Amino acid sequence: MKRLNFHAALIILLFTGLVQFVQAQGIIVTGQRQIPRFEALRIEKHHVNVTIDNQLATTKIDQIFANPNNIQLEGTYLFPLPDDVAVSDFVLYIDGKPVKAELLAKARARSIYEGIVRSMQDPALLEYIGTRAFQARVFPIPPNGERRIQLEYSQVISVDSGLAKYTYPLRTDKYTHQSVGSLAVSIDLKSKHALKTIYSPSHEVAVNRKNDHRAKISYEGTNVHVKRDFTCYYSLSDKDFGIDLITHRDDIDEDGFFMLLISPKYEVKKTEIIEKDFIFVLDRSGSMKGPKIKQAKKALRFCVNSLNDGDRFNLILFNTDIEPFSDKLVSVKQERENALAFVDDIVGNGGTNINDALLAALNDKPDPKRPRIVVFLTDGEATVGETNTVRILKNVSGENNDKSRIFVFGVGYDVNVNLLDKMAEQNGGTRQYVKPQENLEVAVSSFFTKVSEPILVNLALEIQNIKTKNLYPQKLPHLFRGSQLTVLGRYAGTGKTKLILRGDINGKKQEFSNTAKFPKQESDHQFLPALWAQRKVAYLVDEIRLNGENKELIEEITRLSEKYGIMTPYTSFLVTEDEAQRRPSGRFSRARTDQSAPLSAVQVRSPKLARSVGQQVEESVQLQALQTQAQVAETAITVQQVKNKTFHQRGNVWIDSTHKPETKTTKIEFGSDAYFDLLKKESELTKYLAIGKHVIVCYKRTCYEIHPPKQP
């Protein structure tokens, strides 16, 4: 009897007993049984709780599968296991009862995977060929019922040059083509050595550091479409600063990719926190009346109360006129209560004199030993005094002369986005926008918490004996307590190097270092090329927005977007030529495809096209996120990133971006003996061919076209 195959999350059910069901239903056509269509199992819950104590990781999995069909199902549970994981204490429970499980060696696991691929005509499981697996028989899942599966195993995490990596194979959930109802991953991380870097390239995790030796890492989501495994890096070092290197270099003839993760220690004495100067510049014009001014006042109270006694500060209010709390920076310890009373009396009225307000904030001569941070908040455009954007920017930059970092808050959709973005970019700060439905108090308070305790300022980075280029961010920010800085770039050359981080602590120059190796070839950390390209594209698009179009920049954005599948507010993928002629290209969305029409890979929109202020705000927010995001962003639905390759969908065919139309291909039928012989010979191809039955991929100077079996 031919079995139907289903695979859901980490479960693969090889269903039996269906013939009897079909006969009972009387489904007989011309003497042949027709198997009815069944819905895939739904993953209602997939929760993973991990405890890592030094190098011993214990993973506990709790999954609930729902059977939406009116028939009882039973089958086999398979859990793929990477080769580099040494597992012990494997325990499997189904609905609370222990179940005997078998650890399959590579050869046996491969045979099972290949059998499923052949029988289902589905390549999805190919990427697990070559890995081990646990296997157990699953008790019947009742019609319209559920089964709870709990799994526990332990493994030893290897540490290389102080850097450790934990991976959990979430990727199998994507083969259900459904979302996971509740997905959660939690890691309780403990170490006798101090924890520095904690970083996930796969998911936006929350990190709650208890102290230098313990941290909680968590991710939660509902109705999640799983796209990648969960990966978390952490480094161990008893130094004051962790400076960790991650590299990737598939092709030795091309420049490699690298990421530096810079993390200060978490437990810091008050004497180690740099004393600083804060200047808050608040728009109190008539448009701020009502909830906005109330929220702004609450935010200012929070900031003033949170300042350290050794800090200095000032408050500058502006509408048509400028009203400072003081004519100079004052001591927090001496003036905190007076400042809070000053905040209580703020009311909104009048016009918006941005130019004079910022010049007043910068009028005080800065102390070179203390970082000066200006927080500028406005909800409108300049209407009083100097109103020309170019002249305001010139006046502020001339007065500031890179002595203060200006952090900008734009409130609502009536702001001058170009002015605020350039203000932040030219003066070493960041921009943040508070949308009409968002709470201003929460946004400002959250920002201030992050920047209130600087540990190292005026950063400079030196990488000895290695040629680097295209580093992002191009200007390093201050480093604050509890923060982490990621620097991405390209490198040429190989060998050991010294990584040197320099900066100021209370006016004194300090230097921190670590030794690392840039390898000739490194196949791990495959997320790095796309993440680096994402950062570069975001900076290039921002450059165009702020300073105008440039042919070379647009060509580079197009090249990188197509190669790495990067979406930005100015690029979209695989828009039909007819559609591109009918409307402006490049909306920040998943572009639809018409499989009967010719396709253009990437469209880049001119920033000169008329857009509402709301759209400009959204684009600025998205670009700021791409410039700082430490995870690879989603690609278009017609683009798939696999290891170091990008595939674009043309009709039903996935085509390697490096393939040229004139290049001849070696044609092989999907599922044939020749197909599996190729995979045995070139095991790396399994990762690429897992994306579909019709794939064109170029590998080791040969381009293969895997095509579906011919219909009889």
Q: Are 641 and 688 in contact (CB under 8 A)?
A: no
- Looking at residue 127, the DSSP 8-state letter turns out to be G
What per-residue confidence (pLDDT) applies to 579? 35
At residue 702's C-alpha, the angle toward residues 696 and 706, to 5°, is 30
Domain with residue 100: its CATH number is: 2.60.40.3680
398 and 312 in a single domain? The answer is yes
What per-residue confidence (pLDDT) applies to 68? 86
Among the listed residues 299, 166, 117, the one whose alpha carbon sits nearest the alpha carbon of residue 689: 117
Q: Are 53 and 34 in contact (CB under 8 A)?
A: no
Distance CA 503, CA 509 (A): 6
Beta bridge partners of 198: 234
Beta bridge partners of 138: 75
Q: Which two tokens stand for residue 142?
A: 């009742």
Distance CA 251, CA 241 (A): 32
Identify the H or E element spanning 148: strand 146-156
Residues whose CB falls within 8 Å of the CB of residue 526, separated by 6 or more in sequence, listed in order: 248, 643, 644
For residue 146, how far is the Cα from the chain centroid?
Answer: 33
What per-residue confidence (pLDDT) applies to 1? 28
Distance CA 144, CA 136 (A): 22
Residues whose CB falls within 8 Å of the CB of residue 17, separated by 6 or more in sequence, listed in order: 72, 74
- 551-565 residue pLDDT tens: 888 888 888 887 887
Residues whose CB falls within 8 Å of the CB of residue 26, separated by 6 or more in sequence, listed in order: none
What per-residue confidence (pLDDT) applies to 48? 94
265 and 225 in a single domain? The answer is no
Distance CA 571, CA 559 (A): 11
Neighbour-count burial for 602-627, b at 16+ CB within 10 Å, e otherwise: bbbbebeeebeeebbbbbbbbbbebb
489 and 391 in a single domain? The answer is no
611 and 661 in a single domain? The answer is no
| Ranges assigned E (strand) in 464-590 | 467-472, 479-480, 485-492, 495-505, 508-518, 571-576
Domain with residue 319: its CATH number is: 3.40.50.410
A 10 A CB-CB count for 6 gives 22
Distance CA 94, CA 71 (A): 19
Residue carrying structure tokens 């900031």: 303
| Final residue belonging to a domain, choices 437, 452, 467 | 452
- Looking at residue 158, the DSSP 8-state letter turns out to be P
15 and 151 in a single domain? The answer is yes
Taking phi first (over 0 means left), then psi (-120 to 50 degrees means alpha), and beta for anything else, what does residue 17 get? left
Residue 144 belongs to a domain: yes
In sign, the C-alpha dihedral spanning 438, 441, 442, 443 is: positive
Query: Whole domain around residue 502: which residue ranges?
Result: 249-269+455-518
Residue 646 belongs to a domain: no
Q: What is the dihedral of CA 117, 122, 124, 127, to 10 degrees?
A: 40
Q: Are 315 and 342 in contact (CB under 8 A)?
A: yes
A 10 A CB-CB count for 582 gives 8
| Final residue belonging to a domain, choices 452, 478, 509 | 452
202 and 301 in a single domain? The answer is no
Residue 369 belongs to a domain: yes
Residue 464 belongs to a domain: yes
What per-residue confidence (pLDDT) applies to 175? 55
229 and 285 in a single domain? The answer is no
3-state secondary structure 1-16: CCCEEEEECCEEEEEC
Among the listed residues 449, 474, 480, the one whose alpha carbon sits nearest the alpha carbon of residue 461: 474
For residue 286, how far is the Cα from the chain centroid?
Answer: 39
| Ranges assigned E (strand) in 382-494 | 404-411, 431-434, 454-463, 467-472, 479-480, 485-492
Residues whose CB falls within 8 Å of the CB of residue 504, separated by 6 or more in sequence, listed in order: 274, 369, 371, 456, 457, 458, 510
The total of structural domains in the chain comes to: 5
Residue 49 belongs to a domain: yes
Residue 712 belongs to a domain: no
Among the listed residues 141, 4, 176, the one whose alpha carbon sits nearest the alpha carbon of residue 70: 141
What per-residue confidence (pLDDT) applies to 613? 77
Residue 421 belongs to a domain: yes
620 and 657 in a single domain? The answer is no
280 and 343 in a single domain? The answer is yes
Please report how many Cα atoms fall inside a 13 Å half-sphere around the Cα of residue 274, on the Cβ side.
Answer: 29
Identify the H or E element spanning 369: none
351 and 403 in a single domain? The answer is yes
What per-residue confidence (pLDDT) applies to 572? 58
> Residue 610 corresponds to which amino acid?
A
Q: Are 112 and 106 in contact (CB under 8 A)?
A: no
| Final residue belonging to a domain, choices 605, 636, 667 | 636
Please report how many Cα atoms fall inside a 13 Å half-sphere around the Cα of residue 461, on the Cβ side.
Answer: 27
Distance CA 34, CA 522 (A): 50
Residue carrying structure tokens 């930005």: 568
Distance CA 458, CA 505 (A): 9
Q: How far is CA 506 from each of CA 276, 500, 697, rounded to the nearest angstrom?
A: 9, 19, 56
- 435-464 residue pLDDT tens: 888 888 888 888 888 888 888 888 999 999
514 and 550 in a single domain? The answer is no
665 and 607 in a single domain? The answer is no
- Looking at residue 366, the DSSP 8-state letter turns out to be P
A 10 A CB-CB count for 261 gives 22
Regions of the chain short of the pLDDT cut 70:
1-38, 75, 82-90, 172-178, 270-271, 568-611, 636, 712
Distance CA 445, CA 72 (A): 54
Distance CA 198, CA 237 (A): 12
Residues whose CB falls within 8 Å of the CB of residue 633, separated by 6 or more in sequence, listed in order: 534, 566, 567, 626
Please report how many Cα atoms fall inside a 13 Å half-sphere around the Cα of residue 395, on the Cβ side.
Answer: 19
What per-residue confidence (pLDDT) applies to 594? 35
Residue 447 belongs to a domain: yes
